[in-house]
Structure 1
């Protein structure tokens, strides 16, 4: 009886599946409640910020609902924060697995990214259901634009996640320092304000931030006419360039250090 040798692609898929299952079981436990907690965590992140801003009774910079405005800024930002950070944490916690011949740096990054994408998609959907339940309309006027903006944000976060994973292998304290980058992204991306009203020189500077473009693009699905200067191409090219740099970095420097 002949037993065909599995192809490299089959081996790769088996490794990714095993890493995803291991990731979910070690982080979430073997029950549905563990998975629910992980989905609820980003949702709680968004809702706490939304509730905090709503309590202050600030006027909405766009539209009639401050809650909707904050949600449209927080949704892309949470996608960026969680995906880029969790990929970095994944390579830290799973580094011992690299001693197995079939497990590669790329496998750990991709498996963690796949798990996080699924979790974040569920979290955004759950947040929208909660907002709908409390009387806030979370449905965009242009759903395709909103989905495209989140996909572009996923790509940028994926590229940043690969960069983070490479850096933390060479410099472990970076895992803590990335928190400062997150704070800067909150302050400089337009989550809580509209960059359009700034002086032209400052506004142009803000547009160099890919996440500013991501948020403006996502908000344009809710507020027609907003975000005309946002560049989806710039956001996606930024993600693609970071991803390419991360892959080259892994093949040249990270592999040697490992």
Structure 2
């Protein structure tokens, strides 16, 4: 009898967890669709611009590099070389910014018992991740079709690097949200921070281009690590000085712990502000 009761308790516990998970998935899905319609409109034209914006930037830079006589960089085709830097960096920056304002933009929905501040951030992260993947596939696929890019040498490595980029952006976004709650003017400082990071994240160059005395400082930047790992996965002939995800994972875990701590401890303060 004790065994039957124990099994029944385990079953009920798993059933309750499954129901709660199902509700959570439906809530995040509804928030994601609401975010999509609110931000880009029901006709989808706004979302089309979200896809075209990084593409336009890449085309401008590609033309600039081409006019300078640079059709390759360190043996890498120019389009995927630029895409790995530009698309990855802009996607991380955009996701972090979107998450830091997720609760403020969805404050009216938080009166519902099943909607939590974390749900609003997850929904925005899902939308930004989908946009990131679609943009990257369009650029790389289009460049390959018109013979401006070779086929990626390590598809699994590319998926891993892109996943790391979005995990970093999500955890970083939670931390930035918490810092903005504690220090409202912090959001203004992030503009300066991202401008500095744009030029110190190997977006337009590789880590091998940097003199050794400065390279060690850039290696501390997790975005540099992701971009370099992504390029190494795409081009078999490029071996980056950075070959491990361990450092990036440390940043992701650290940001996740701090971000979840902020979300739990500052939730009431954020809703009352």
Are residues 233 and 169 of structure 1, via their aligned partners in 2, closer, same or farther at CA, if it must alter by over 3 Å? same
1:60-79 equivalent positions in 2, closer than 5 A = 60-63=72-75, 65-79=77-91
Aligned residue pairs, count: 254
Q: How high is the TM-score relative to the length of structure 2?
A: 0.82
Q: Does the Cα contact within 8 Å between 1:207 and 1:213 map onto a contact in 2?
A: yes
1:112-161 CA-to-partner distances (Å, cap 9, x unmatched) read 11111111111111112332354311532222212211111111111111
Are residues 160 and 183 of structure 1, via their aligned partners in 2, closer, same or farther at CA, if it must alter by over 3 Å? same
Are residues 150 and 64 of structure 1, via their aligned partners in 2, closer, same or farther at CA, if it must alter by over 3 Å? closer
Are residues 171 and 94 of structure 1, via their aligned partners in 2, closer, same or farther at CA, if it must alter by over 3 Å? farther
- Rounded to whole Å, the distance in 2 between the matches of 1:49 and 1:178 is 24
1:196-233 CA-to-partner distances (Å, cap 9, x unmatched) read 24333321121111111111101112143421434311
2:258 aligns to what? 245
Q: 1:234 aligns with which of 242, 247, 256?
A: 247
CA RMSD after TM alignment: 2.5
> For structure 1, which segment, 72-81 or 152-161, has the greater mean C-alpha deviation from structure 2 after superposition?
72-81
1:94-109 equivalent positions in 2, closer than 5 A = 94-109=106-121
Q: How far is 1:171 from its partner?
A: 3.6
Give ranges in structure 2 of 5+ residues lacking alignment.
Answer: 1-15
Q: How high is the TM-score relative to the length of structure 1?
A: 0.86
Q: 1:144 aligns with which of 152, 156, 165?
A: 156
2:4 aligns to what? none
Give ranges in structure 1 of 5+ residues lacking alignment.
Answer: none
